[in-house]
Amino acid sequence: MFAEEWPLMMFTLICQLAVGSYILLVLVRSILAQKDAPSAKRLTSFGFLAVGPLMALALIFSLFHLGTPTGAYRSILNLGSSWLSREILTAGGFFVLWFVSYKAYQKETVGNGLGWLTSLVGLLVIFSMVNIYGTSVRPAWDNANTYIAFFGTTFALGSLGAASFIAYGAKGSALSPEILTILKKVSLIGIVAVIIQLIYLPVFISGLGSGVAASIASAQLLSGSYLFPLVVYGVLSLVGVGLLYYGLGKATNTKSIPVNVVYLALIMVVVGEFIGRYVFYASAVSVMIGQS
C-alpha cells in the first residue's frame, strides 16, 4: 500500500469511531433520560466530550491526505458533483454540531433533537465517504462491500467506544439493571455489525472472482496473501464484541461495569478493524486502460 494512503485510512477509521460512538451515546441518553435524567448526563457526558477530539484528529489526518493542507478549502467548491466536497462539508458540519450539542447536553433538561440531527449528519459523513470509493477505478471499492464495511465498522467501533466512555463515566459505581440492559443492547448492535461484515466477505470475494481482470486480481489477493490478515481481523473483531457482551452480562451480578474487560474488548475491535481496513486498501487493484 502506498504511504500516502495511511492518513486516509486513519481518517476513515477514527471518523467512524467518532460518529458511531456519538450515535450510540445519543441512543443511550435518549432511552435513559426518560427514567433517570441525572444518570443519563453523568454516564454520557465524558463520551460526548471525547467525540470532539476524536473527530478533530480524524480531520487532521484528512488534511494530510490532501497533499497541501493549506489549500484544503478549495476541496469544498464542487458540492454539486464531488463526493469529496460533500464529505468535507458533512464532516465539518458534524464537528460543529458536536460542539453545539455537547454544550447543550450539559443541561439536564435539554432534549435529544439536536443530538439526533448531529447523528444524521454523521451518517451523511459515512455515506459521502463510501460514495467516494464508489466512483473509483478499483472494482474492489466500487462494490456493496464498501457500504457494508464502512457502516459496519461505524457501529462496531461505535458500540465499543460508547460502552468504554460510559464505563469511564460510571467510575466503578453501581448501575441499575435498566442501565446494564441498555448497554447489553448496545453491545448487540456491535455484534450484528461485525457478523454482517463477515457473512458478506465470501460473497464479496466470490463476486470479484467473476469480474474484470482488476477484480479477479483483488480476489486472488484476498483469498491468497491477505487471507490470514482477514482471518485475524474477523477473529479479533468478533471476539472483541463478544467479550463486551459477556462482560456486561457478568455485570448484572455486581451492578458495576468490568472496566478492564470493556477496554480490552475495545482494543481488540480497534486492532481487528485496523487490519481489516488495511486489507481493504492494500487489496484494491486499479483498472488499467485497455484492461478487460
- What the chain holds in terms of domains, given with CATH numbers, is 3-282 (1.20.1630.10)
Find the mean pLDDT for residues 148-174: 92
* pTM, entire model: 0.92
For 207-229, the pLDDT digits (tens) are: 998 888 999 999 999 999 999 99
Q: What's the pLDDT at 221?
A: 95
Mean pLDDT, range 31-47, rounded to an integer = 86
CA angle 150, 153, 155 (to 5 degrees): 115
State how far the Cα of 179 lies from the Cα of 33, in Å rounded to an integer. 11
> Is there a contact between 99 and 171 (Cβ–Cβ < 8 Å)?
no
Q: Can you read off the three cell numbers belonging to residue 251?
A: 455485570
C-alpha cell recorded at residue 77: 467548491
Which residue, among 272, 271, 266, 274, has the nearest Cα to 244 in the 3D structure?
266
Query: b vs e for 128-154, b when ≥16 Cβ sit within 10 Å of the residue's Cβ?
Result: bbbebbeeeebbbbbbebbbbbbbbbb
Q: How far apart are the first and last CA of the chain?
A: 23
CA atoms 89, 90, 92, 96: torsion sign: positive
In contact, 170 and 246? CB cutoff 8 Å = no
- pLDDT score of 119: 96
- pLDDT tens track for 68-112: 555 555 556 666 557 788 888 999 999 999 999 999 988 766 678
